[in-house]
Amino acid sequence: RMALTIQCAVRGWASRRAFGARAVGSEGRKLNAAALALQAWCFLNTNARHKPLQRYWRRQREASATRIACAYRCHLARREVWGQVFDARAIEGVRRVQAVWRGHLARLSIPYRRRVMASVLKKRACLRIQCAWRVRGAVERFRRAWRVEEEAQVIRVQARRAREAAAASVLQARARRVW
């Protein structure tokens, strides 16, 4: 390995030297010298070679961490939403059970309610019949009392007429006697 590394370094040095000899003018030599300096610096300074890679991998790690955090937050959000969906489903199930139970109780209470309504209707009917009977009795008593009063009035009128007739006949008899 060392031999290969030395061989590569010597070949690079030889090619740079050959290129430098062929370079034209001072501008070319300056550019060549700058390139040589940069190459030497990168070759000798391993950190300089690795820094771009380190930056790349650091960015990759940060992006991966961001992706993992995002995925975890999505997981938590989905779990929370699933809990809410489950809660909604559970609430809907409870509502259905309550509705069924209320319907069951209502169906059970229908005969009782019918008996209560029948009893209420019977009581109302009894009250109406009693009221009608009492009104009829009161009307009969009133008519009877009216008839009795009319008969009493007739008897009073007849008695008064009889008294008047008797008084008139007494007066006529007295008047006949006097004459």
- pLDDT tens for 69-82 read 988 998 888 888 77
Of residues 76 and 50, the one with the higher pLDDT is 76
CA distance 49 to 45: 7
What are the tens digits of pLDDT across the range 128-172?
999 999 999 999 999 999 999 999 999 999 999 999 998 888 888
The overall pTM is greater than 0.95: no
Token pair 């809907």 is at which residue? 92
**Per residue in 100-137, is it b (16+ CB within 10 Å) or e — as a string?**
eeeeeeeeeeeeeeeeeeeeeeeeeeeeeeeeeeeeee
